[in-house]
Amino acid sequence: MTRSSLTLLGLMALVAAPFAVELAAPGTMPQRALLWIGGPGKLLLLVAAAVLAWRNTAAFERGTWARSGWLLLFAGLALYSLGQAGLVINQLTQNQAIFFPSPSDVLFLLAYPAFIAALVAFLKAYGESGFPLGDRTARRALMGVMAVFSAILGMAVLRPVILSGAPDVEKALNAAYTVLDLALLVPTVLLLRITLRFPGGAVWRIWMAILGGFVALCAGDILFAYSTAMGMARLDPLIDVAYVLGYGALALGMAFQRELLV
């Protein structure tokens, strides 16, 4: 591993550690320490991921699916970074951890179509380059399984969200995040299926990091929706750990791809 990827790993561990401590022993970490470590730390990971995604974009020819995929990833990460920046400013100036809903939610939600389109573009790039995608029947079966899983998970999360006494705007946002996360998981699982055919190689390392990041991001969103609906504030440190791991893994995936190109 290069210095950049080791630095990202160190930053991810540093940012996640206080929340892990708070999860294991509630009340141990001062709230202000969590704000000043967590917010800026997450923003640094997101900005690093966005910058690296942009640099990866330049390595591919115009008009290719691979370039489109990296460009869309950059767009999604840039939107997420802007949203996180606004969130951090509010958190640090008002000494408050959660701002929901907020203008940042608009940017976060806009990032998801870019992420989904990016993964679809990478699936097309894999197909054009001759990577084994598996037969069409197997892919359809996997999509069917994912559809059933998404429906079950969606009902389990959305039912308490809709039935909660939260304001309608919060319900709508939590529902939108959950639906978009479940939609994002479909191309993620399809790409994971391809990636698992190349264990231990450079392609495996890149995509396990990126796709693992998206899985962690989805887990954070779904946990947040459930915890806010059920009033389970004790899940907050776990949600923060999921987001840190998600942002960090995405940044690592971008760094691994950059290392492969230089």
Tell me which H or E stretch contains 253.
Answer: helix 236-261
Instruction: Look up residue 184 and give its two tokens.
Output: 């994002």
- DSSP-H helix ranges across 58-164: 65-94, 104-129, 136-163
Q: Are 233 and 8 in contact (CB under 8 A)?
A: no
CA atoms within 13 A on the CB side of 99: 21
Domain span at residue 84 reads 3-261
Q: Please give the full DSSP string across 140-153, using - where no structure is assigned.
A: HHHHHHHHHHHHHH
Residue 30 three-state SS: coil
> Any idea what DSSP says for residue 201?
S
Short-list 90, 108, 82, CA closest to 221 = 108
- Cα 11 from Cα 52, distance rounded (Å): 16
As averages over each run of 10 residues, the pLDDT of the chain (262 residues) reads 86 95 92 93 96 92 91 97 95 89 94 96 82 64 76 79 85 90 88 79 87 94 86 86 96 91 71
Domain count, the chain: 1
User: What is the pLDDT, as a whole number, of residue 67?
Assistant: 93
Please, what is the Cα angle at 257 between 88 and 71, to 5 degrees? 65
Q: Are 31 and 97 in contact (CB under 8 A)?
A: yes
Terminal-to-terminal C-alpha distance of the chain? 13
What Cα–Cα distance (Å) separates residue 110 from each residue in 93, 106, 199, 251?
25, 6, 33, 19
In tens, the pLDDT along 233-254 reads 788 999 999 999 999 999 999 9
What Cα–Cα distance (Å) separates residue 213 from each residue in 28, 48, 229, 241, 247?
28, 14, 24, 12, 6
